[in-house]
Amino acid sequence: MGLSRRNFLKAAAGGGLLAASQLSPVPVWAREPKTRLPEALGILYDATLCIGCKACMTACKEFNSLPPDPSSPEGLWDDPLDLSAKTYNIVKLYRSGTGQTKDREEDGYSFIRRFCMHCVDPACTSACPVNALSKDPVTGIVRYNKDLCIGCRYCQIACPFNVPKFEWDTPFPQIKKCQLCDHRLVRGSYPACCEFCPNGASVFGDVQSLRKEAKRRLGLPAGSQATFPVHRIDTGEYRYATVGHYFPRVYGEVDGGGTQVLIMAGVPFNRLGLPDLPPESTASHSETLMHTLYKGMIGPYVLLAGLFYLVYKNTSKKDLP
Ligand code: SF4
Ligand code: SF4
Ligand code: SF4
């Protein structure tokens, strides 16, 4: 078996890091993980209430002035297959077996929204060498500053949710992603996806209240009738709906150090394409590793040794024709 360039880089990085972790006395954290801000803002997305109408996608496009993003060369429809520089929010479909029953893992289906999670301790801001991505110290919104960006795309590699997208088709490309409609927030409004969601599946608010609401939902008996806030958590506006069969936890409570977008669903989150992340913050973990590797310039030598070792191993006799 040949050794592709991609596999070589992956293996070399893995080997170097493994060697580093074994050879150097690693401190557990280079810095404390960031914690949730008291006035953090976010969105609670409840897939059991989502009807897949994509009103949130259309509203996101309209209020962020995003062009159509057709999946076919003919370009007859705006039907993106994934997030892109032209699509900050997408509703995907999970389907299993006969796909008959909503919010069931087997022989069922579920909708799932994907957009920036506005992480508590974001890996994108940590990876950005020039602070072009930064976290608002009050609201926790993760914003992008095009004037600072040097186009290195480290944020793309760092994000565990594969969110930031690069504009490949413009002469002066920028990184594009959801910024929690901050241009609407400053005018006293709120995210367009929540304003136009007809079913209360996407609700905007302060993260403390959203977490409380998510926990209330987990305690409701499945199949009973209950009230659900619509559009935003603080208006008292609500609708009645049947309580779904919830997977018994809220995604984003702790995952990857926590996120300001919280997700509830009837299907296990990893089946919906959400990554299985440890509770430790991804950003502080990677910063610890980098600081350790470069401390006293020991790391680069260890990395080089790892590279040599893996090249030797992967090009040994058994791989030769
Ligand atoms: S989801 Fe990705 S882009 Fe969004 S804040 Fe987290 S790390 Fe950054
Ligand atoms: S908050 Fe705004 S930018 Fe983000 S997904 Fe919703 S509509 Fe789109
Ligand atoms: S607008 Fe609401 S119900 Fe419709 S797809 Fe988006 S989240 Fe689901």
Shortest-distance ligand to the CA of residue 59: 2
Q: Is the pLDDT of residue 72 over 50?
A: yes
Amino acid 289 reads L
Model pLDDT, residue 284: 78
Of residues 228 and 303, more confidently modeled:
228
Q: Rounded CA gap, 185 and 206, in Å?
A: 13
pLDDT at 283: 85
More reliable by pLDDT, 155 or 22? 155
**Residue 309 — very low, low, confident or very high, per pLDDT cuts 50/70/90?**
low
pLDDT of residue 313: 53
Ligand nearest to the CA of 56: 3
The per-residue pLDDT for 282 is: 75
6 pLDDT more than 50: no
C-alpha dihedral, 178 to 181 to 183 to 184, nearest 10°: 170
pLDDT digits over 234-254, tens only? 999 999 999 999 999 999 999
Closest by CA position to 303, among listed 284, 289, 317, 315:
289
- Domains in the chain (CATH in brackets) are 5-32+283-314 (no CATH), 41-279 (3.30.70.20)
What's the whole-number mean pLDDT along residues 151-169? 97
Question: Can you say how many angstroms the Cα of residue 274 is from the centroid of all Cα atoms in its chain?
Answer: 8
Using the mean position of ligand 2's atoms as its centre, give its distance from the Cα of residue 131 in Å: 22
Which residue of 139, 142, 251 sits with most ligand 1 atoms within 8 Å of its CB, as the best mutation to test the pocket?
142
Query: Is any ligand 1 atom within 6 A of the Cβ of residue 177?
Result: yes
Task: Establish whether residue 163 lines the binding site of ligand 1, counting it when its CB lies within 6 angstroms of any ligand atom.
Answer: yes
What pLDDT, in 10s, does the model give residues 8-54?
333 333 334 334 444 444 445 567 889 999 999 999 999 999 999 99
Cα four-point dihedral sign 306, 123, 250, 111: negative
CB atoms within 10 A of CB 156: 16
Q: Cα of 141 to ligand 1 centre, how many Å?
A: 10
Confidence of residue 289 (pLDDT cuts 50, 70, 90): low
Q: Which of 36, 41, 45, 124 to mutate to test the pocket of ligand 1 (most atoms within 8 A of CB)?
A: 124
Quick: pLDDT tens for 250-285.
999 999 999 999 999 999 999 999 999 999 987 876
Q: What is the pLDDT of residue 305?
A: 56
Q: Please indicate whether residue 91, judged by its CB atom, sits closer than 6 Å to ligand 3.
A: yes
Measured in angstroms, how far is the CA atom of residue 61 from the centroid of ligand 2?
8
pLDDT, one tens digit per residue, over 90-143 is: 999 999 999 999 999 999 999 999 999 999 999 999 999 999 999 999 999 999
Amino acid present at 8:
F
> Which atom of ligand 1 lies at the shortest distance from residue 117's CA?
1
Residue 175 and residue 144 in contact, taking contact as beta carbons nearer than 8 Å: yes
For 123-143, what is the HEC assignment? HHHHHCCCCCEEECCCCCCEE
Q: Would you place residue 160 in the very low, low, confident or very high pLDDT band (cuts 50, 70, 90)?
A: very high
Tell me the per-residue pLDDT of 184-229, one tens digit each, with 9 for 90 and over: 999 999 999 999 999 999 999 999 999 999 999 999 999 999 999 9
Element holding 284 (H helix, E strand): helix 282-294
Q: Determine the pLDDT at residue 295.
A: 52
